[in-house]
A and B are shown apart, each in its own frame.
Chain A
Amino acid sequence: MLSKRIIPCLDVKDGRTVKGVNFIDLKDAGDPVELAWQYAQQGADELVFLDITATHERRKTMIEMVKAVAKQLNIPFTIGGGITTIQDAEALLNAGADKISINSAAVKNPSLIEELARAFGVQFVVVAVDTKLVEGKNMVHLNGGRLITELETEDWIKRAESLGAGEILLTSMDHDGTKQGFDCGLLNAITQMINIPVIASGGAGKVEHFTEVFEKTGVDAALAASVFHFGEIPIPMLKQKLKDHNIPVRL
């Protein structure tokens, strides 16, 4: 049976992981390779690295980091942030990334999804969508929720699927950072609407939120950052709890 996936998300700046990470036996919390390896040891099913570097050197630094991670890591990982061209994606693929995640570049240029899927296969293309409820409608937002678009989330996700997205990473900006649980209503509506895997993101604060999102919605994976980084939810414990609820996980 296909397992539900648990995915820690790491922010990367200038080739270093940022946000306070609090593993007891970590020598260098800013080293993406060591951190990734630790997460793999704990039983993470997959990792997402989000590049928030703003400098011109970003591309080169990122490729070096991806190579270093791919050398050591024996589970799949996705790279997101600042990918706007086929060339960006190809360089990451050749460096060992399993998937790339595109967000605003896809909104601005939807044909990028199609081009990437044709060049590298749909399995390589994750479309990340940031959504926020505005006057009763789920609207796609850019720039971490600061910029509203004219796209309704449901319409955009359907379109992304038809263009060749292999997976959707859906972050509810209303829930993100609240630690009050995932947006199960919207996530379930989306999973009923499309036929590709969906990763839930935004709102994880305790173990019950993970149980809830897998029991109440058809999502395939749940992503979180701080609850894992600060050790609030150890992954082995989380997976055991999910298993106790008869949710298929990899132990």
Chain B
Amino acid sequence: MIGIVNYGAGNIFSLTSALERQHLDYGMVNTEADLDKYTHIIIPGVGHAGAAMAKLEHTGLVEPIRKLKKPVLGICVGMQLLTDHSEEGDAEMMKIFPLNTRLFNKDQGIKIPHMGWNNIDHKNNPLFAGVENLTQFYFVHSYFIEYNPTFDIATANYGMPFSAAIQKDNFYGVQFHPEKSGIAGELLLKNFSNLKY
């Protein structure tokens, strides 16, 4: 069963609805003890990364999540929380991935936020099982995770390549919103629920 970290950063109704459409059971993680109840953990997140990190710290779940050995998926800001640092609010993050979350550079002739459907070039990670390469997913964000070949499992391009998805051991992050990315997004959530670690 999937546990959703409930730390008050953004609405989770769309995520829980997507899980229900896939007949995936879920519950809420409010305390450290709750983490033991679930086999897979999702960290959602919308809005300001610095503010989201402050909220997550307030729950006391940062260290317990860092120690987890079960599959963890951060979505959008939830993914950015897994990095070292975010330029949004100049905030320290959970430091699971030695990567930085940076603001898109409008000097590259791109509009900010990056909003809409963009192709991803994925590397046959089990998270993308059955997802055709270069499928489009729905993105909406102004900050991105720098491309790093060690952790990158899917790359998107917006002015420059950036990581659409990352993995390190049992930790996964996706910058797009699988809950809003049509059939491919629903498949990704299903794949996550099937990950073993």
**If A1-B118, A121-B46, A123-B140 touch, does A74 touch B180 (CB 8 Å cutoff)?**
yes
**If A94-B13, A96-B14 touch, does A122 touch B142 (CB 8 Å cutoff)?**
yes
A residues whose Cβ falls under 8 Å from a Cβ of B: 1-3, 5, 40, 45, 67, 70-72, 74-76, 93-96, 98, 120-124, 166-167, 195-197, 220-221, 250
A167: chain B residues at CB < 8 Å are 115
Instruction: Tell me the count of chain B residues lying within 8 A, CB to CB, of chain A.
Output: 36
A3: chain B residues at CB < 8 Å are 116-118, 136
**Is there an interface contact between B185 and A123, defined as CB atoms closer than 8 Å?**
no
Of all chain A residues, the one with the shortest Cβ separation from B134 is A1
The total of interchain contacts (Cβ-Cβ below 8 angstroms) comes to 89
* B67 in the interface (beta carbon within 8 A): no
**If A40-B182, A120-B47, A195-B106 touch, does A95 touch B113 (CB 8 Å cutoff)?**
no
**Is there an interface contact between A98 and B140, defined as CB atoms closer than 8 Å?**
yes
**Is there an interface contact between B13 and A195, defined as CB atoms closer than 8 Å?**
no
**Is there an interface contact between B180 and A195, defined as CB atoms closer than 8 Å?**
no
B177: chain A residues at CB < 8 Å are 76
**Is there an interface contact between B13 and A5, defined as CB atoms closer than 8 Å?**
no
Determine which residue in B18, B21, B113, B157 has the highest number of CB atoms from chain A within 10 A of its CB, and name it: B113
B residues whose Cβ falls under 8 Å from a Cβ of A: 10-11, 13-14, 17-18, 20-21, 46-48, 106, 111-119, 136, 138, 140-142, 157-158, 177, 179-183, 185-186
B113: chain A residues at CB < 8 Å are 122-123, 166, 196-197
Determine which residue in B17, B114, B116, B119 has the highest number of CB atoms from chain A within 10 A of its CB, and name it: B116
Q: Which one of B11, B112, B117, B138 contacts A93 once the chains associate, using CB atoms below 8 Å? A: B11
Give Cα A147–Cα B183 distance, bound, in whole angstroms. Answer: 43
**Is there an interface contact between B116 and A98, defined as CB atoms closer than 8 Å?**
no
**If A70-B13, A93-B11, A195-B111 touch, does A121 touch B116 (CB 8 Å cutoff)?**
no
In the complex, the 10 A-B pairs of residues with the closest C-beta atoms, listed nearest first: A96-B13, A3-B117, A250-B117, A250-B136, A121-B47, A71-B17, A123-B140, A76-B180, A96-B14, A2-B118
